Amino acid sequence: MTPGPTAAGGARTGSPPVTGRPSDTGSPLDIGRRAAAVPPKTDFPLLDELAKAFEDLAARHPNLVATRRLGRSRDGQPINLHVIGRGQGRLAHLVVGGVHPNEPIGSWTALHLAEQLIQDPAMRQQLDASWGIIPCVDPDGYRLNEGWLKNPADRLHYAEHFFRPAPDDQVEWTFPFHYKRAHFDAMMPETRALKEAIDLMRPDLYVALHNSELGGVYYYLSRAEPELYPALHAIPQALGIPLDEGEPESGHLVALAPAIFAETSLEDAYDWMESLGLDPCPPGSGGASSGQYASRAHGALSLIAELPYWRDARASDTRLTQEAYADLLERTGQRTADLGAVLTQAADEARDLLDWTTPLAHGARAFAQMMGDAAGTARARGRQPEARRPATAAERFGCEETVRMFQLRYGGMMLRALGEGLAGSPDPAALAAVADRLERHCEGWRAAAAADDASEPIPIADLVGVQYGAILAAAALLAGRLAP
């Protein structure tokens, strides 16, 4: 959910099976079976394919699905809310895809959830809710990822076509926020559309569909719900996907259970950064998260299921290494700072050579800057007394893997921004020279990543199954139908 997982992890054993309590209206929900029954997928849907699939569902089931236009993106793309079974249940839930448009597992999850709710009146009745689904709340950003969606298993291809919006352009992190020195209220049309949907649905369960990149599964919850934890552990385990029990995404996060973190407030994050002596609101910061808004404004239980595309056995190796955790943070922090310096230099050299206001160029430059900030955070954590202990192999892998991910993603984004700037550049030859110099760095990063790559892609249907199963489990909990 925060920029990139630093998590390593390990598989958990001994979790109980997942079933729904037999209800007075029929058979058990059998969430484990449902999670394992997602049809095979080899790619992710393009924006138009996703929109058409939802339009077709709405057209075929006009009495069950109501579609509402929430607004349009900055580029004029429609943003729709599809409500299934309006007024039919005691509860209301909202599920939102594309909050980070580089995270498309939720596209399939949103569609699969909609199809199952429509096809299965008994399940709908048992969950006792109406369901709002926004297939993609950032259509512009999603389009900028379409270059890799049909070939998602190849990590280098993915990095070459990857786009993540700058923090102040992310729908997820642009809800109003005012705390101490931080003041953010620059809501984008997409964020206003999402806020309208949240206020309209007043959700009991709010699910922003995120995913990570490599490692294992982990979750965020806006409040402690111990009855839910066994199900959240058992669903990925049954599908052979490890839990991620290593490094959290940020040092201030509190674990409610293994691989389940409290979705702490942005105020907490601010205070934590301040306590480390770091700037809690550097230029370009965004605002509060959609989950924080939904839980505070309407008392929603906010659930996030973070899922990787690739697994690597090293992410589960909890043996101790010879390296101190503090040294690991310092070493990988330095490599992150080096990356930031290379990317910032390219941006500085091309300062007057392209339009930096496009989402791609703005994002590329923001992440160049953020690499420097991330290095500072890692080093500040390394100076904390609790960092004076041996690192585990999983932590070492997780920290090194995060550097690799940043090199591939943000090197790729900067190269793409430079390349796309060529057409309108006042000095294309000078811009091409900047791109050539950066390309030599990127070649080195790609070669190093390929040489050390022991990852394997996880079947997409299994990832969708985990996210779908987690949503059903949370909805069953709120309906009083989750087995203890």
The answer to whether 290 and 192 are in contact (CB under 8 A) is no
Q: Which two tokens stand for residue 173?
A: 């992190």
Comparing CB distances to Zn ion, the nearer of 4 and 251 is 4
Give the nearer residue to Zn ion in terms of CB position, either 210 or 481: 210
Instruction: For residue 280, give the 3-state DSSP assignment.
Output: coil
Shortest Cβ distance from residue 474 to Zn ion (Å)? Answer: 18
**Least distance between Zn ion and beta carbon 1 (Å):** 5
Q: What 3 state SS string does 248-279 have?
A: CCCCCCCEEECCEEECCCHHHHHHHHHHCCCC
- Specify the residue, 170 or 377, whose C-beta has the smaller distance to Zn ion: 170
Rounded to whole angstroms, how far apart are CA atoms 170 and 174? 6
Q: Give the three-class secondary structure for 54.
A: helix
Return d(Cα 393, Cα 315) in angstroms, integer: 8
For the bound state, the minimum distance from the C-beta of residue 139 to Zn ion, rounded and expressed in Å, comes to 16
Give the chain's radius of gyration (CA, Å).
Answer: 22
Q: How many whole angstroms separate alpha carbon 42 and alpha carbon 159? A: 18
For residue 249, the minimal CB distance to Zn ion (Å) is 10
End-to-end CA distance of the chain: 29
- Amino acid, res. 76: G
Token reading at 78: 């429609």
Q: How far is the CB of 2 from Zn ion (least distance, A)?
A: 8
Least separation in angstroms between residue 141's CB and Zn ion is 11
Structure tokens at 127: 């969950």
Which CB sits closer to Zn ion, 10 or 97? 97
Q: What is the DSSP letter of 179?
A: E
* 3/203 with CB nearer Zn ion: 3
Q: Cα(133)–Cα(114) distance, rounded to whole angstroms?
A: 8
Q: Taking the complex as a whole, how short is the minimal distance between the CB of residue 341 and Zn ion, in angstroms? A: 26
Which of residues 29 and 209 has its CB atom nearest to Zn ion in the complex?
Answer: 209
Tell me which residues touch Zn ion (CB under 5 A): 1, 100, 103, 210
Please, which residue, 249 or 373, has the CB nearer to Zn ion?
A: 249
